[in-house]
Every structure is written in C-alpha cells, then in structure tokens.
Structure 1
Amino acid sequence: MVAGWFDGEGDDFRLVGTRCSACGSVFFPREDTCCRNPKCEGGELASASLSRRGRIWSYTNTGYRPPSPYVTNPELPWEPYALVAVELETERIVVLGQAAPGVTVTDLEVGMEVEIVPGVLYEDAETTWTTWHWRPTGVAA
C-alpha cells in the first residue's frame, strides 16, 4: 500500500488526493509541496477524498510483466489484466488502475460507469500490498 493514497473499507473505500484552496484544483496522486496548476499563485493543499465512481476514458490489456517498482512474484507465470483510465465523476480528473479481478477488456467500453473497490496487488508470507481496482457498477464483488 502506498501510504496516504487511499483509505476506508468496503463502501467507504476511496482514493485520497489533495485540493488547492486557492484555485480548487484536485490532484492524484497526492501533492504535498505546491499547486501543480501553472495559473495558480498557490494556496494551502488539503487532503481530499475523491469520487468513488467515474466513467471509462480508455482501457487496454497488459500482455507483459511490468518492470519494478511494480511488485510481482517472478516464480509465478504472468497473468494479464485490464488497465483502466477513469474520469472521476466529480473531480473530472483521469486516474489509472487495474480492473477488478475477473473483469477483462471484453467486459469494458469507453463511457461505461465504474466504481472503485479495494484490491490486492500482491501478497507474500509477510506483507499484503493493497491497491484499488475499477469495477463496472452493478457487478458483485
């Protein structure tokens, strides 16, 4: 898990970004140094829980094991997954993430509504690396 990128559980699970008090720009991943909006003179950056839903902007299938820092078990065969770019409902920013397990590119289409759900990126005997997944709305966990 990347500390500070998401919080909550179940229906309260959300990505956490930051919002600039001066211009209202929202950032994900978090920005803790300065506003990234070049037209903004700067303001306080506050933590902001992001929308749980959005619409698919684009998607693709991963056909190869990504390089580090992506965490995988090199002893297991690579299993492709769908990578989804989602425009968040309220913030109108695009956030990338994996599709939920069992969701493939054949299940997706541009404009489809999806929701964020907690997921496991990788786990071993000592650690579980948590992440977020995008799941089409109306699909059971």
Structure 2
Amino acid sequence: MVAGWFTGHGDDFRLLGTRCSACAAVFFPREDAHCRNPGCSGGELLEVPLSRRGRVWSYTDSRYRPPSPYVSDPELPWESYALIAVELEYERIVVLGQAVPGVNATDLAVGTEVEVVPGVLCEDAETIWTTWHWRPAEVTR
C-alpha cells in the first residue's frame, strides 16, 4: 500500500488528495510541499477524500510484457489489463489507474461512469500490495 494515497475499505474506499487553501486546486497524487498551481502564491495543503466516481476520459490496454529496462518476471504468465484515465466527478482532475480484473478495453468507452474500488497490485507469500482499480459504476444512485 502506498501510505497516504487512499483510505477505507469497500464502499468507504477513497483516494486521498490535497487541496490548496489559497486557490482550491486539488492534487493527486497528494502534494505536501507546495501548491503546484503556478498562479498561486501558496497556501496550506489540506488532505481531502476524492470523488469515488468519475467518467472515462481515455483508456488503453496492456497486451504485452513490458520491454527492458522494466522489471517483469518472465517465469510468470503475462496477463493483459486495461489502463483508464478517469476525470473525477467533482474535482475534474484526471486520475490514472487499472480497471478491475475482467474489464478490458473493449468493455470501455469514453464517458463511461466508473467508480474507485480497492485492488491488489501484486502479492506473494508474505505481502499483499494494495492499490486502487476502476470498475464500471452500478446504475443505482
């Protein structure tokens, strides 16, 4: 788990960002040093939970093992996944993440409503590395 990037479980799972108290700009991943808005003289950076939902802004798929110098265990089978850029519902910032397993690029379209859920990046006998995934949102609202 990347400390400070998300919190909660199940329906309480949220990505965490920061908001500048001077200009109201929101950042993800979080910013703890200074406001990244070049037009802002700076303000206090406050941790804020981000929208759970957003709309697909762009997407692609990963169908092949990354080439060198990226590390990839050739002994393990390669599983493709969809990578989604999501414009968050309220903040209007774009956050990148993987789709939940089983959702492929062919299942997506720009504008599709998605929601953030906890996911597993990888695991071994001792550790589970938690991350976030995007899944198509349920219609019930």
**TM-score, normalised on structure 2?**
0.92
Q: How many residue pairs were aligned?
A: 139
Map Cα deviations across residues 38-57 of structure 1 (whole Å, 9 max, x no partner).
00000000101000000000
Alpha-carbon shift at residue 72 of structure 1 (Å): 5.7
Name the Cα RMSD after superposition: 2.0
1:105 and 2:108 correspond: no
One-letter amino acid matched to 1:53: R
Matching residue of 1:122: 122
One-letter amino acid matched to 2:127: T
**TM-score, normalised on structure 1?**
0.92
Matching residue of 1:56: 56
Distance 2:2 2:114 in 1: 22
For structure 1, list consecutive stretches of 5 or more residues without a partner in the other structure.
none
Judged with a 3 Å threshold, the aligned counterparts in structure 2 of structure 1 residues 67 and 48 are, in CA distance, closer, same or farther, namely farther
Alpha-carbon shift at residue 92 of structure 1 (Å): 0.1
Identical counterparts, % of pairs: 77
Matches within 5 A, 1:65-80: 65-66=65-66, 73-80=73-80
Map Cα deviations across residues 19-72 of structure 1 (whole Å, 9 max, x no partner).
00000000000100000000000000010100000000000001233479x886
For structure 2, list consecutive stretches of 5 or more residues without a partner in the other structure.
none
